[in-house]
Amino acid sequence: MMHRKKLVFTFLAVFMLGSTLGIIIPKDAAALDESYFKGKKMTFLVPFKPGGGFDTYARLLSPYIKKYLPVRNVIVKNEPAGGGLAAMNRLARSKPDGRTVMIIQTGAAVINELAEVKGIRYQSGKFTWLARVTSSPNVLVSNPKSTLKTMGDLQSLNREVAIASIGRDFSTITAILMLKAFDIPYRTVMGYSGSGEQIMAVIRGDADVCALSISTLKPSIDAGELHGIMVLGKMETDMSKFSEEADRLNISEKNRTMLGSLAGILDIYRSIAASPGLSPELARIMRTAFEKAFTDPDFLASAKKSNRPVHYLNGEETQRLVETAVENFKNDASFMKMVKDIFGGAY
C-alpha cells in the first residue's frame, strides 16, 4: 500500500513539476514582448537605389526602430532589381520572425500583382503591413503654354494625348488610368530615365502630360513651369488651384469607382510591411514600435529637414486599406482589363 502511494505521489510530483516548468520556461509565443528582438538583426529592404526617396525614409527611420525595439542593428539593404519586384519576392519568402521589413511602393506592388507579371511570387494582401509612411496624391500636369488646361481640353483634342513615361512604372499607369477614366485616347512617349526627364519633356513640349506625385511636382507647379490639370488622391494642401472635372464631365460610375480605387492606393503610396504569416503578437509588437518611431518628435524633425513629409497611419488600418484596394481592383472588371492591356504581352 505504502509502495503504491509513493508511486502515485512521485508521479504527481513529477507531473506538477513538469507542468510548472513548462509554464515558467517561456516559449516564444507564450510570453512575447519586445525582448524577443534583443540581440537580433533586422533587415530593412528598399526596392530602389541608395539616395532616392524610399531609401532616405528607410535610413531616416532605422535609428528610431533601434530606439524602440532592442534589435542589435537595423541594416538597410537596397535591392532595386526588377524595379523592386525582386525585393518583394524576398519579403514574401522571408521567415515570419519579424526580422525582415520593407518599405514598399504599394501601388506598384498591387498593380504588378494584378497584372500577373511573370516571376512575381508575392501577394500584397498577405504581407503584414506595419505602417503607412506617406500618401501621395498624383497630379496630371501639362505645359502652361499649351491649350490643355482641363480634362475637357484633353477630351476635345482630336489626337492622342502623349504621356511622358519611364516604362510601366506606377506614375505612367496612373496617368493612363486617369486618361482612360475620361475616355481620352492616349499614347506613351516611353524611355525617360527619371521624373526629372519626364518634367523636362512636358516643359519642352515633347509630350503633352505626365503624372507624378505632388511632392515631386510642386516646385515646378509653383514656379509656373507646369500646369496642374487634375489631382488624384487625398490632399493635405489647398486644392483650389486644380480643377475637379469628374462631375462636370459626367464620367461613368464604373470609371468613377476605378478612380476611387486608384486614389485609395495613392493614399498608401509608401508603406512598410513585414513578412507574411507573422503571429498576431509579433505583429502587434512591431506595429506598436513603429508607431512610436513614427511619432517620435526627433524623427519627424529630421524628416522635415530632409524635405520628406510623413503621413503616419497605423498598421491595422494600412493592412485594411491594402486588402480593400486589392479586393476592389479584382472586382473591377474594366480596371483589370485595362491593366492587362497595359501590361499585356510585355512580360
Partner 1 sequence: MIEAWVSGFTSVFAPSALFLLLIGTGIGYAIGFIPGLAGAFALAMLIPFAISMESAHAVVFLLAAHAVVMTGGSLSAILFNAPGTGANVPASWDGYPMTRMGQGGRAIAAAATASAIGGVVSGFVLMGLIPVVRAILLAFGPPEFFMLSVMAYSFVASVTGRYPFKALAAVFFGLLLSTIGTDPALAIPRFTFGTFYLWEGVDLIPLVMGLFAVSEMIKLAISKKGIVSGGVQIGRDVFQGVKETFQKWFLVLRCSGIASVIGIIPGLGAELATFMCYGHALQSSKTPEKFGKGAIEGVIGAEAGNNGKEGGSLLTTLAFGVPGSSSMAILLGFFITMGIIPSPEMLKEHLPLIFSMAWVIIIANVLGACISIFAGRYMAKISAIRAPLLVSVLLVVTVIGGAASNNNLGDIGTTFLFGFIGYQMDKFGYSKAAFIVGFVLGKITEKNLFISIQIYQGAGFLLRPLTIILAIIAIAAFAWPIISQKMKKNRENNEK
Partner 2 sequence: MKSNLADWIIRISFVLLFAAFGAFSFYYPPKTRIIPLIVCICGLATALVDCIMPKKGINANAQDIGGEDIVAGLGFLEEFKAWLWLALFFGLVVLGGLIYGSVIFLFFFLKWFWKEKWSVALSLPLVTGGCIYLLFHIAFQMELFGGLLFE
- Total residues belonging to the chain: 347
| Region binding partner 2 by CB under 8 A among candidate stretches 69-77, 195-203, 230-238, 292-300 | 69-77
- Residue 300 binds to partner 2 (criterion: CB under 8 A): no
| Region binding partner 2 by CB under 8 A among candidate stretches 73-81, 131-139, 150-158, 218-226 | 73-81
304-330 per-residue burial string, b: 16 or more CB within 10 A, e: under 16: eeeebebbbbbbeebbebbeebbebbe
Type of residue numbered 197 = E
86 binds, among partner 1, partner 2, none (CB under 5 to 8 A by kind): partner 1
Enumerate long-range contacts of 26-34, CB under 8 Å, 24 or more apart. 29/279, 29/281, 32/279, 32/281, 32/282, 32/285, 33/285, 34/68, 34/69, 34/70, 34/285, 34/289
193 binds, among partner 1, partner 2, none (CB under 5 to 8 A by kind): partner 1
- 128 with 283: CB under 8 angstroms? yes
Quote the least distance from Cβ 191 to partner 1, whole Å. 3
Quote the least distance from Cβ 251 to partner 1, whole Å. 28
75 binds, among partner 1, partner 2, none (CB under 5 to 8 A by kind): partner 2
Query: Nearest to residue 212, comparing CAs of 307, 306, 137?
Result: 137
Spell out the residues 6+ positions from residue 187 whose beta carbon is closer than 8 angstroms to its own: 160, 161, 162, 163
- Residue 345 binds to partner 2 (criterion: CB under 8 A): yes
Quote the least distance from Cβ 62 to partner 1, whole Å. 9
142 binds, among partner 2, partner 1, none (CB under 5 to 8 A by kind): none
**Strand 41-46 and strand 100-105: pairing?**
parallel
Pick one of 6, 77, 95, 187: the residue that binds partner 2 (CB under 8 A).
77
| Binding site residues, partner 1, CB under 8 A | 49-52, 55-56, 59-60, 77-83, 85-86, 89, 119, 162, 166-168, 187-194, 196-197, 199-200, 203-204, 206-207, 219-220, 222-225, 302, 305-307, 346-347
Q: How far apart are CA 178 and CA 170, in angstroms?
A: 12
Separation in Å, CA 271 to CA 76, 148, 280, 303, 319: 15, 34, 19, 15, 10
Q: How far apart are CA 109 and CA 91, in angstroms?
A: 12
Considering the complex, state which of residue 100 and residue 319 has its C-beta at the smaller distance from partner 1: 100
Considering the complex, state which of residue 108 and residue 278 has its C-beta at the smaller distance from partner 1: 108
| Region binding partner 2 by CB under 8 A among candidate stretches 71-79, 163-171, 280-288, 290-298 | 71-79
Pick one of 75, 81, 239, 301: the residue that binds partner 2 (CB under 8 A).
75
Considering the complex, state which of residue 190 and residue 249 has its C-beta at the smaller distance from partner 2: 190
Rg (CA), the chain: 25
Q: Which residues bind partner 2 (CB under 8 A)?
A: 75-77, 345
